[in-house]
Every structure is written in structure tokens, then in C-alpha cells.
């Protein structure tokens, strides 16, 4: 995840370069370092350097890194002729390079030549079974063709090898949610929380999944994760605050008729409702009455 400081620096540099203030190479390096996808800008400013012999030669060995960066950006922008030219230049410089071979396979994929791309990726994996990019490309290719179950299969195979890839776990979780496979999605978010316990987005997503699954045990757990989201965000996550209220209401229905000992203290939901009302007074006063009536309907 990109920090606010890094994002501000990228935006500042981008604005500077767009307005002719220089710093294109610095901007491209930062985008690459942070693994951002600003393909249109990379393509524009990257080509401005590559098409200027003086600027290009000043890069030294980094010239080839820029060719690769521009080739990928060109594929994203469907400027396939530009991508092809960049790859040809790299082929001449690095004969039989597996890294360039990967770019060739990606170009086939960008053209929609799925069978040829699959054949190329399979061949590359025979030489290097642990190439993370190729494993990810196969999952992405299946998803692009509408083969969602195939994408799930490739992502699961990938995660058997590269279990620490947070982006892959999140992608798999989101696919499961889109298919209403909530138990599988919950497992993915559990893995993410174990590896990044202070990331509130994972706590929130996990709580949403548990609430959707329903049942007293899941809703009790969802309430705890909504509460941890509130804690991790300094009490400023509106969705999590509302989640606490929804869980409280649902738990009240599920425990109706039980002993008082089985019911939870109302303190947390009162605090959540109060925080929500305070937030709406500041940011959306015209919708405060709607919130109040909603909380009242939840019997909070």
C-alpha cells in the first residue's frame, strides 16, 4: 500500500512533468519503485526520453529498464505497435533472455492470442517454475477470458508457493465475494489479518463477510472485527461504526427470549451510535435525520 507521503510526491512530480517542469526520469523511477499503474503517463513521458537520443544515452544501463517499463505501459494502453518496437529493441540487446520472453508472451496476451500466450508461459515456467510474474499472468489471463473458476485455480496454485503475497490473497478474496463464496473469502481475509494485523481494511472486509454469512457466532465475531477497525482508524470509520450497530440489532433478534446473561452490554453500540451521529452532524447534516430514523429502526 502506497503511503500518503509517497502518493503526494508522485502527484507533485507528475504535475511538474506534465507542465514542462522536467523530472520525467525521476517520476518514472518513482512510479516503478512504488509499483504504480499510471500507464498513460509512463507511456507519454517514457517515450519522450526514448525518442531523444541524448536523453536516452544519458541513462546508461537504465535505458533497458525504461524500454521494459514503456513496453508494459504501452500494452496497458493498447498501443501494441509501441510495445512491439520496445520488445524488438530488447530482443536485439538480450538474445534468448527469459525476461524478454515474458514480455513477448504478455504481448500475445494483450493481442488476445490466448492459446499462444498460454503456450509461451508454459514454456517459460518449465525453465523457471518459481517465476511469480508468469504465475500471476496466467491467473489474470483466465480472468480476462471470463474463466473465473480458472483464475481461482491459478491463484490457489500460486499461493501454495508464494503465501506471503498480500495482493494475491486480496484478489482471491474479492473473486470469492463476487461469487458469494463467503466461507472461502473469510479464509483469505484471515490469512491477510494474520500477516498484516494492523491493516484496518482487512478487518473491515472480514467483518463484512462474517456479517453476510450470518448466524450468532459469525455476527458476534463480525462485531469484534468492526470494533477493531474502529480502533485501528481512531474511531473514524463510518462503515465500521454502522456495522457495530447492525450487528447489535441482529444479535438482539437472534438472542430474543434468552437469559440476560447471554446478552452483551449495550455500551459499545451506544458509543458507536453516538460517534455516527456526531460524524453526520459535521459532514452530512442534511442526512442526520435519516441516520437517526435508521438507528431507531434498529432499536438502538
Task: Give per-residue pLDDT as tens, 13-35.
Answer: 999 999 988 899 999 999 999 99
Instruction: Answer whether 157's CB lies under 8 Å from 136's CB.
Output: no
For Cα atoms 79, 174, 246, give the angle at the middle one, nearest 5 degrees. Answer: 140
The whole-angstrom separation of Cα 100 and Cα 122 is 15
In angstroms, the Cα distances linking 31 to 10, 34, 64, 96 are: 7, 5, 16, 28
The whole-angstrom separation of Cα 266 and Cα 209 is 23
What is the residue-averaged pLDDT of the chain? 92
Residue 286 DSSP one-character state = G
In this prediction, residue 148 carries a pLDDT of: 96
Segments making up each domain of the chain, as ranges: 1-94, 193-300
Q: Tell whether the model's pLDDT for residue 91 goes beyond 90.
A: yes
In this prediction, residue 265 carries a pLDDT of: 60
Burial of 246 (0-12, 13-18, 19+ CB in 10 A): buried
> Considering only CA atoms, which of 235, 232, 206 is closest in space to residue 221?
206
Span of 50-59, 81-90, 99-108, 250-259 with lowest mean pLDDT:
250-259
Query: What share of the chain in percent tops pLDDT 70?
Result: 96
In this prediction, residue 282 carries a pLDDT of: 80
In this prediction, residue 186 carries a pLDDT of: 98
Grid cell 527469459 is found at 98
- Range 105-128 average pLDDT: 95
Any long-range contacts for 180-186 (C-beta under 8 Å, 24+ apart)?
182/209, 182/212, 182/213, 183/213, 185/209, 186/210, 186/213
In this prediction, residue 262 carries a pLDDT of: 47
For residue 118 the three cell numbers come to 498460454
* List of residues 6+ apart from 140 with CB closer than 8 A: 151
Q: Which residue has the higher pLDDT, 7 or 297?
A: 7
Q: How are the residues of the chain apportioned to helix, strand and coil, as percentages rounded to the nearest 5?
A: 80, 0, 20
* List of residues 6+ apart from 38 with CB closer than 8 A: 10, 14, 31
User: How long a stretch of residues is the chain?
Assistant: 300
Task: Give per-residue pLDDT as tens, 203-261.
Answer: 999 999 999 999 999 999 999 999 999 999 998 899 999 999 999 989 988 877 565 54
Task: Provide the CB-side half-sphere exposure for 202 (13 A, CA).
Answer: 21
The structure's pTM equals 0.82
Amino acid at each position: 500500500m502506497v503511503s500518503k507521503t509517497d502518493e503526494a510526491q508522485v502527484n507533485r512530480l507528475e504535475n511538474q512533468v506534465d507542465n514542462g517542469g522536467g523530472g520525467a526520469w525521476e517520476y518514472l523511477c518513482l512510479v516503478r519503485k512504488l509499483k504504480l499503474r499510471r500507464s498513460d503517463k509512463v507511456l507519454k513521458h517514457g517515450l519522450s526520453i526514448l525518442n531523444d537520443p541524448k536523453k536516452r544515452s544519458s541513462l546508461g544501463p537504465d535505458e533497458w529498464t525504461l524500454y521494459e517499463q514503456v513496453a508494459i505501459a504501452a500494452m496497458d494502453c493498447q498501443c501494441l505497435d509501441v510495445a512491439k518496437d520496445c520488445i524488438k529493441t530488447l530482443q536485439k540487446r538480450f538474445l534468448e533472455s527469459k525476461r524478454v520472453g515474458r514480455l513477448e508472451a504478455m504481448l500475445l496476451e494483450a493481442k488476445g492470442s490466448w492459446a499462444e500466450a498460454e503456450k509461451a508461459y508454459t514454456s517459460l515456467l518449465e525453465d523457471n517454475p518459481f517465476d511469480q510474474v508468469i504465475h500471476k499472468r496466467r491467473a489474470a489471463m483466465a480472468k480476462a477470458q471470463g474463466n473465473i473458476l480458472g483464475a481461482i485455480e491459478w491463484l490457489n496454485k500460486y499461493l501454495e508457493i508464494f503465501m506471503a503475497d498480500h495482493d494475491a490473497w486480496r484478489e482471491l478474496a474479492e473473486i470469492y465475494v463476487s461469487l458469494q463464496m463467503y466461507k472461502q473469502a473469510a479464509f483469505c481475509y484471515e490469512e491477510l489479518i494474520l500477516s498484516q494485523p494492523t491493516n484496518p481494511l482487512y478487518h473491515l472486509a472480514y467483518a463484512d463477510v462474517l456479517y453476510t454469512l450470518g448466524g450468532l457466532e459469525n455476527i458476534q465475531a463480525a462485531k469484534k472485527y468492526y470494533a477493531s477497525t474502529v480502533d485501528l482508524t481512531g474511531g473514524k470509520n463510518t462503515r465500521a461504526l454502522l456495522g457495530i450497530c447492525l450487528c447489535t440489532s441482529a444479535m438482539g433478534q437472534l438472542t430474543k427470549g434468552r437469559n440476560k446473561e447471554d446478552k452483551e452490554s449495550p455500551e459499545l453500540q451506544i458509543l458507536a451510535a453516538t460517534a455516527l451521529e456526531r460524524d453526520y452532524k459535521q459532514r452530512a447534516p442534511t442526512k442526520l435525520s435519516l441516520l437517526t430514523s435508521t438507528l431507531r429502526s434498529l432499536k438502538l
